[in-house]
Structures are given as structure tokens and as C-alpha cells.
Structure 1
């Protein structure tokens, strides 16, 4: 398996209303970047949602990294939140498994910090192993100091990389529509990683146009720079329509013990609302 992990991500194209008269600092840019333009132009021409996708991208407001944004709106999981309609945002773990040279693990298995231990434990049967790799049907997104925004089921060797203020600012300025280049370390001549939008969206084809195509809830786990990035990108996901405007956003806070208790309680509530994990037959 290549050291450059790959993962399958989905993009959400549901349309949503944008709050009227946004602050001047968040007004839509009149000119999209070349990468944003190419993202729209690459969509199939003969589809009804091509125009709607372009309109959704134009609704995404840029975010000033110097602004403090807190979208936390709830402290309990709502009855309608399930693992199918809730996104879990996790800061990468500082403590990682030490793998043999050339060996890889999924990120959900690689990180050994206390919050990740709580995540794996309380996911219950929504977390399982396949040929030594940890997998989950819950939608867990990681903010990594090396990879940026990626899936918890992506593969990686053991690494050490911290999310600095400079890296956080880069992610916020780029936003959800820019393809990631691992903070300038990738040779983009041969391509780049996915956009944060493709990793953080719920459905590949939300143009079924039913309410609920966006996330109905979000859990945020991470402090300092991680939380700053998550909140900025969440604001853009709401603009785009990938997160429902009235979706509860829960954020862990306090000491590590308090945060572990909060996360465990919320995950247990999601399990109660979701029922057994619909694992594919080949897993067992």
C-alpha cells in the first residue's frame, strides 16, 4: 500500500439559504480562484445540478483567519441525530502507534490519544477491524498536522507533524473548495489531495433535493488551532448547504476528563438513536 494514502470521499451538492446581509469580511469573493473554477468546470455538462453546484460554490463566503468563530449551538445530541446524519470532527492524536517501517494503519487506529480511545470504545459495533485495519461506518473526519482535512479511514505510516497557527491559517484561507497539498509538501504536478468539501460532505448526489441531504448534526473535538479551523470550515459548509442551517453543533470543552465524558455521552446517544451498525457481510 502506498505511503500516500487514498480515501473515498463524497461531495454534497444540496442547496441552502445563506443568512442575509453577512458581515463585510465574509462577503462572497467576486472572483473565484483558478482551482475553485476548475472544480466547477470539471462537473458533467449535461446535468441539472451543474448550475446548482456552481451557485452553491459562489455562496461560500471567505473567512478571515483573525476572526473568532464559535458555532456551538447545543450540548446534547438531539433525537434525530444518528451516525448516518452526524459528522464527527476530531483533532489528530499527538500519541501514535509506532509501526514497522513501511507499514500503515488507518488513522482511526493509528492515534492512541485519550480522545481517540474514547471514540473507538463508544462507537461500539460502529467500529470494527478488517485484516488489522480499524474501520467505521460513522463519518469521522480528522484534522491532521500533516494531511490537513482527511477521513479517519485513510491510511498512513507513523508520522509527527503539529498543526501550527500558520498551517491553520492556510487551511482557513483556502477554505472548503481548494484542493489540499499537505501544506505545500506535495508535488502538485502529479495532482493534489481532495478538497475539504469532498471529505466533509454527506452525500455524493444530494441533488435529490430533499431536506436532510446536509448533516443534521456535528460533533467537534479539538481545541486551539484545531477548533479554529473546524469552526471556519463549518461556517462555509453551512453556506454551501453541506450542513443544515439548524443542525445542532456540539463542541467538547473543559479538561480532558470532561471532554472524554462529553464525547462518550454523545456517542452513546448516537448509538441509541442509530441501532446496530449495518456492517457488510464480508466483514465477519
Structure 2
């Protein structure tokens, strides 16, 4: 690595989870689903950048304090969010991102990909950003997220 190159900056876009705590809390603490427990078990000492796609709130920062809610990411909800992306994707994403992992089911990934395309068109993300995504059943998605996080930790060391 030459002196002017920096390690690739990673961003994980995580779907919210149906399982939530009962109290108002930062989003990363409110969500209690299996992907979040996998994240907590594998996250390196230096946390990657995280953006969360909430079925109710749209894209939110991991530390945004929110109240528990009940809303599923149905195909119709995903379509509504894609149709009104500027309303649902109004936060500032981390800058300098070179690699993105989409962690969530197909309805979430549809919205995530639309937001990434929009951000590339607006010049907010580089067009050559590397995009990876979880796939398969929830157990397989958990193992993919865990492996991704462990690899980031090795790159930290």
C-alpha cells in the first residue's frame, strides 16, 4: 500500500428487525433480531459504518433514537419507499465508502439498491462502489454477515 492509498471504507446497510426492545433506544440497541445478535457477536473493535433501513422510518443512522413500532417491509411498502426515495432517504451517509454490504431480505434490498443508484446519480457515491449482499435463508444470511464482519476485523489488525 502506498502512502496515499487508504483501506477501503465499508458500509453495512442493515434491515430493521421485527424483534425489538420495549423502550425508546438508539436503533442499533432497539433491534433485537437475529441479524443484530450476529452483528454484535462478530463486530470488530472498530465498527464499520452502518445505515439502517427501517420499514417505518426509511434510512436512519444507527444511533438515531426511536421508539418501538410495528411495520413490515412488504412488497407494497418497498414500492412506496422506492417511489418516494427522497422522503425516505434524507440522512447523510458516510463519505468515502468503497464497499457496501446489503443485509436484508429482497424487499429491503430493492429499496437499498434504489437508494444506492440514486446516490450514484447525485454524485454522493462513487459509481464503482463494490456492492455485496446477503442471500438465502436467514441462517445463511447470518453466516454471510458474520464472515463479512470478521473479515473487516482482520483488515483492522
Matched, 1:125 2:18: no
Give the aligned partner of residue 105 of structure 2: 223
1:155 CA drift (Å): 0.8
SS at match of 1:153: coil
Matched, 1:94 2:18: yes
Structure 2, unmatched stretches of 5+, are 1-5
Give the aligned partner of residue 29 of structure 2: 109
SS at match of 1:125: coil
SS at match of 2:45: helix
- Compute the TM-score of the two structures, normalised by the length of structure 1: 0.50
Give the aligned partner of residue 145 of structure 1: 55
* Change beyond 3 A, Cα 1:179–1:168: same
Q: CA RMSD in A?
A: 2.0
Structure 1, unmatched stretches of 5+, are 1-78, 127-136, 181-195, 204-212, 276-284
Higher strand proportion (structure 1 or 2):
2
User: What is the alpha-carbon distance in structure 2 between the residues aligned to residue 258 and residue 167 of structure 1?
Assistant: 25
* Change beyond 3 A, Cα 1:254–1:172: same
1:242 CA drift (Å): 2.5
User: What is the alpha-carbon distance in structure 1 between the residues aligned to residue 94 and residue 68 of structure 2?
Assistant: 28
Task: Give yes or no for contact 2:73–2:107 (8 Å, CA) kept in 1.
Answer: yes
Q: Deviations over 1:122-157 (max 9, x none)?
A: 11324xxxxxxxxxx532111112211111111122
Give the aligned partner of residue 3 of structure 2: none
In the TM superposition, what are the counterparts of 1:178-193 in structure 2 within 5 Å? 178-180=86-88
In the TM superposition, what are the counterparts of 1:224-243 in structure 2 within 5 Å? 224-243=106-125
Task: Give yes or no for contact 1:91–1:142 (8 Å, CA) kept in 2.
Answer: yes
Task: Give yes or no for contact 2:99–2:131 (8 Å, CA) kept in 1.
Answer: yes
Give the aligned partner of residue 202 of structure 1: 94
- Compute the TM-score of the two structures, normalised by the length of structure 2: 0.86
